[in-house]
Each structure stands twice: as C-alpha cells, then as structure tokens.
Amino acid sequence: MSTEQHWHTAWSPEDCERVLTALEGAKNLRILVVGDLMVDAYLLGRVERISPEAPVPILRAHQRERRAGGAANVARNLKAMGVEVTVAGIIGKDQDGEDLMMELARLEMDTRGILPLEHRRTTVKTRVMSGGQHLLRVDEEDDMDLDSDASQHFLEKLSAVLKTADFDAILIEDYDKGALSPTVIEGLLGMARERQIPVTVDPKFRHFDLYKGVALFKPNLKELKDGLGLLWENGDADAMQKALTEGLDRLQSNWQPETILLTLSELGVRVRTAMADVQQPAHPREILDVSGAGDTVIAVATALLAQGLDPVSMAQVANLAGGLVCEKPGVVPIDPDALMAEVRRLPIQA
C-alpha cells in the first residue's frame, strides 16, 4: 500500500468503492469471537404514575425480550454482515445458559468454543424500559476471573476450536466478567501468534495492560482514561486532547498495537497508527440508546481490517456503524444494507 493513496483523510470515490467491496467481502470471512457472553433481557412497558409506597415510577409491563448480549452481541453483528462466526466464552449450567445456547443455535453460530461451568451463573443484564427510555438496569453475574483449572479448560477448548478451521481474525470482547483471565489472555494471544491470526480487542479496565502486540486495540474514552490514569478538568477540551494524545503515545509505545481506535461518543473516533493520527467527528443522529454501539464498532472494524482495509477508512465506517445502532432502542446488530447506504452518502472530497 502506498502511503499517498491510503493515508489521506478526504473521502474519494475510490475510498467508497473499496469500503463497499470490503463490506460485501465480509461474507467470505471466518472470525472467532472470544469473551464475556451474556443475556440481554428487557422488561418493556409504560410509566403512567408514581407509586404510593415510595417515590418511584410504576411500570405497566407489557413485553419481555431476551437477546444474546456481550461478546454474543458482537457475534450477532458479525453474523448480520455475513461472517462465519465461532463463539467462545463461559456460561453457567443454568436455564439462562441453555437459553443463550439455543439463541446462538437459532442464529446458526458455531458454539463449540463455549464452556459451561457448574458453579458460575450466566451473566444476565435486565433493562427496564418505558417508551424507549431506560428506567433501571439489573445485573445478575459472577464476575471474578476464572480460576487456574477453569482457565486451563477454556484454553484447551480454544485450542481445539482453532484446529478446526482457518480463521481470518480473533476478536476479543472483554467486559470484565471474568472469562478473560490473565491466563486465558496470555494463552490465547500466544495461539494467535503461532497461527499468525490478527487479533482485535475491545478492552475493559481490569486487564487493560495485558493486550500487547495486537492488530487493533479499541478502548473508549473512559477505558483509556481509567486504564492509563489520565487526568483533565471536565469541560477543558484542550487539556483533554493533550491528555488523550499523551495516553495514545504511551499506549502505542508500551503495548505496541498496530492500530488504536479510540471511540469518543459524541466526539466521534480517533484512529492512531505509526503512520496516522486522525480524529473523525460523529455524524448527526437522533440518539435513542447507546447500548451495544461499541460491540458494533469492534465487529465492523474487525471485518474490515481482516480484509486489509486501511485504518483511516476502517475508522470512518466503524464510526458510521456505531452511530446507526444508536438510533434504535435496545441492543441491536448493524443492518449492513443501511450501513452501505450511509457509506454511499458520505460527501466526496477532493
């Protein structure tokens, strides 16, 4: 790739065609998603009055929904793009775990990488919603790191899965729920290096510093700030940008990812490589729910990078995808047709 062709920030007709080709090409990929699996549950209704027993709203519930969440939602996004997906993670030997396995089977995903454990609950996040607005979230989970025996069993399962097929990428989705213990992270990264499989990571705080030498590291603003101990006063935009640049410098120097994709919510995204440092603004949206937007961003970014798309174009499209899913209530996967339509609408620049 010539730097002149691929590292400019203007959007050209050639950029558009290259991206559309890569989005279509997702159907030819096989990706292993490893991480914290969970059930996203919803209690939907409408609030019409306040309780006489306490100053809290009364929800008149009319619907319950359950969806595959966490790393499984990342897998849903990849599947929606046409990717062949293998899912790996930890569930409990409980009804919630069985329900999650049934849902993944319904979605035609390979679940041979999932390890059920006897003394561990399946993570369930229940969102109570009224008219598309969050009222409350209830988390049921065991979030301690896997012990040494469980970590070893999980690594054995991952090793067996990696022998079954040639994977184009491994996507690690860390929600700090314990499936990705230090032992699992170290072992999985070692297996990926041996097989020369690119690894993309959506990190959380607990093991932020363990993901070294990966192809893509995608923290959000809070994760970068807390993971590196960055400081700035609220509202001081200049100080924030200075701290973020220093943080990205440290991350690049100490962890040596090939690409960093920093998501900045309403400020857009910032992509950093050895050759570029570009911030792209968010696109105007009617934001209904930000839940799951990060899952969509890492899924789209991984599918594009696995095909060799340049990081600046990748960031532009992943940024678009994350915004699109925020227009719908609840955790939903990307609509590839809507994403391709958005890509075609991007203004062409000289």
Q: In what order do the strands lie in the sheet with 30-35?
A: 110-117, 84-92, 30-35, 169-173, 199-202, 216-217, 259-263, 269-272, 277-280
Residue 286 neighbours by CB distance under 10 Å: 6
Catalytic residues: 295
Angstrom distance (rounded) from CA 181 to CA 150: 10
Helices (H) and strands (E) in the chain, counts: 11, 13
How far is it, in rounded angstroms, from Cα 155 to Cα 135? 39
The span from the CA of 197 to the CA of 31, in Å, is 10
With CA atoms as reference, report the closest residue to 301 among 201, 234, 213: 201
Beta strands, E only, 161-268: 169-173, 199-202, 216-217, 259-263
